[in-house]
A and B are shown apart, each in its own frame.
Chain A
Amino acid sequence: MEILIPNKEQSGCGLSGVINRKGELIKGEVIIESICCQMERGNGLGAGYAAYGIYPEFADYYCLHVMADNKQALKEVEEILAHKCYLVHQERIPTRATPGISSPPRFRRYFVKPRYEGEIREICEGTADEDDYMVDLVMLINKNVAGAYVISSGRNMGAFKGVGFPDQIANFFRLEEYSAYIWTAHNRFPTNTPGWWGGAHPFTILDWSIVHNGEISSYGTNRRYLEMFGYHCTLLTDTEVVAYLLDLLIRRHGLPIELACMALAPPFWQEIDRMEEPEKSVCTAIRAVYGAAMLNGPFAILFAYNGGLVGLNDRVKLRPLVAAKKGDFYYMASEEAAIRAICPDPEEVWCPKAGEPVIVELEPDTIPNQRSYLRGEGVQVSAPICRFPTAVEEDEEED
């Protein structure tokens, strides 16, 4: 794949995300319109989308979206899958020729289940271990197969991304043909890392997907930390570490999502000094244990999983993030205009505080294999958590 060196101009990436809490499907056109409202935030060197709920007929299978330079690379991937997986279905990801999109890689998707060998089969099959198995498989392919990358690996979801503007990438992947209950989208303006197909957002592992505006200057620290747990960064872009950190902290270590967000964007020590117990001890412990997971540098991120959408800013809010709601729909974007483009009359619009996650989960038992990471009542942390349904108080309406 061709790697393009960033062409520096004054701008920043654009983000947009939407979720329907009842699992109602949202057409692809909706998210495309929203991200294209922020066209100036990108420079044509990357765009991408994540969609949840798009493969209901294979909802119990992990769907691997594979991007490959050539037939040989795909063949190598397929050999690995033949050994390691049960394959129920595979096909080309439908694309169409799009002006402005030159020499795209090949895209195929594989619907698979882990294939355990020997005695462990009975112990592991159908358990949470399957997630770890799939993580290892993705790492194996991304690390060892030259010119091939798994760009998403969750159940009933997929990532679509490449080099181009968001309207071009949407047209290329025929996204108007998909409907999803969560969409995220990204319009890229690469600054410190190359613009190439693998480096476009979203970055994913299992059903985690993340889109990011900003720069993770702690990339080296985060990357080395993740390597200790078997995650290998192969996509040449800082944002990749966030996807793996989410998987490690929330799925594997079982941190409630609020505390995981605190680990990524912790309060300053001077703020912790002023806290009451037990909040003070919790924050201190998180900073001590997860120092190497802290994201330094400016960021606004949106991440999603099979069950929720979360927005988070760095702790001094160096990148913009706006949230809004209307009925069962929740929206988050870099700019309010991107929300109003698809929801002209939201009931509420608010700007989350620095380091304050906005967590919106589906209602319970809405979709197959639904995940929820809001564990219990949670601990009150420094910033008031804007999790559903508290959102913001009704008060001065200034429309």
Chain B
Amino acid sequence: MAFEIDAKDLHYRELNKLLRQAIGKGEKHLVLKNVNGQRYVAAGVSAEVDIDIYGVPGLDLGAFMRGPRIRVHGNTQDGAGNTMDDGKIIIEGMAGDVVGYAMRGGKIFVASDVGYRVGIHMKAYMDKVPVIVIGGKAGDFLGEYMAGGVIILLGMFSRYPERPIAGIFLGTGMHGGVIYIRGGVPESQLGAALQIEETDEEDQNILRKHLQEYCADLGYNLDEVMAEKFVKIRPQTHRPYGKLYAY
């Protein structure tokens, strides 16, 4: 039985208090109705729970969280998954800017488009490998300063037919991790010191693993998604600016 909270006219502090109280009492499935702009929903929550959100959650959804599986039945605003550590955020609509900012674990699946600076400063350590999958298109600075983790950009389910699959300055300052792009991307969109490579069998396995889960979560057809070739973008070196200030 899901535990329901009506978020209408609730300030974010009250909403998060109710959410944390319910989790503290052992509720495993929470449904938040009429959410509109409340910030920091489930921020810092460390628990294995399912949270369904109806409406548009505010900035920094699931920031610092470790464990919850959040499904947003709509769009999200900026900063979803800010520095999240573990768990999953599924967004059935589009997402704003800086999704997965400094993310260090867990997954963010976006059905449609994302804004600017998505995956900025993502990082990975040993078995902690954060993953962002984007069904639509991305704005400028995707994967900026990326240090680890995986970003997969499909460009298939976008509301912007006139835009390129990814904006300019893609991967600027990137020094770790990998960005996979379905169908490729013009080199002019890339930041400096990156290389575009063909995907090999290992890449295909990684892609299939994540996309299988992504398609199952969002009701997309895996064969259709995998029907096109992917390219891989990686930094040429893990210290692209190592000599910038050296004489």
Contacts and interface: CB of A to CB of B under 8 A. Distances in A.
B58 A395 contact: no
Q: Size class of A's contact patch? A: 20 to 34
Interface stretch (A171-179, A211-219, A346-354, A368-376): A346-354
A340 B113 CA distance: 19
Given A336-B75, A340-B36, A392 B160 contact: yes
Contacts of A100: none
Contacts of A79: none
Contact of B56 (A317, A337, A384, A398): A337
B141 A316 contact: yes
A112 interface: no
B161 interface: yes
Contact of B37 (A38, A268, A348, A399): A38
Contacts of A37: 36-37
A167 B168 CA distance: 40
A317 B139 contact: yes
A contact face: mostly helix, strand, loop, or mixed: loop
Interface in B193-216: none
Interface string A30-45: 0000000110100000
A104 to B, nearest CB: 27
Nearest to B39: A40
A85 interface: no
Given A317-B139, A393-B161, A399 B96 contact: no
A240 interface: no
A274 interface: yes
Nearest to B113: A351
Contacts of A396: 112, 136, 157-159
Contact of B139 (A274, A336, A353, A399): A353
B contact face: mostly helix, strand, loop, or mixed: loop
Nearest to A384: B162
Interface string A305-336: 00000000000110010100000000000011
Nearest to B73: A399
B44 interface: no
Contacts of B115: 317, 320, 351
Contacts of A268: 168
Contact of A320 (B39, B97, B113, B188): B97
A349 B136 CA distance: 15
Given A271-B168, A335-B77, A395-B158, A316 B116 contact: yes
B140 A337 contact: no
A395 B77 contact: no
B55 interface: yes
A351 B93 CA distance: 13
B74 interface: yes
A51 interface: no
B37 A341 contact: yes
A322, A335, A350, A351 — most chain B CB neighbours (10 Å): A351
A312 to B, nearest CB: 15
A338 interface: yes
A399 B74 contact: yes
Shortest beta-carbon contacts, A-B, top 6: A337-B37, A317-B116, A398-B93, A337-B36, A398-B112, A396-B157
Given A40-B12, A398-B94, 11 more contacts: A37-B36, A271-B168, A274-B188, A317-B115, A337-B77, A340-B36, A340-B56, A351-B113, A353-B139, A353-B167, A392-B160
Interface of A: 37-38, 40, 268, 271, 274, 316-317, 320, 322, 335-338, 340-341, 348-351, 353-354, 384, 392-393, 395-396, 398-399
5 contacts: A316-B141, A317-B116, A317-B140, A353-B163, A396-B136
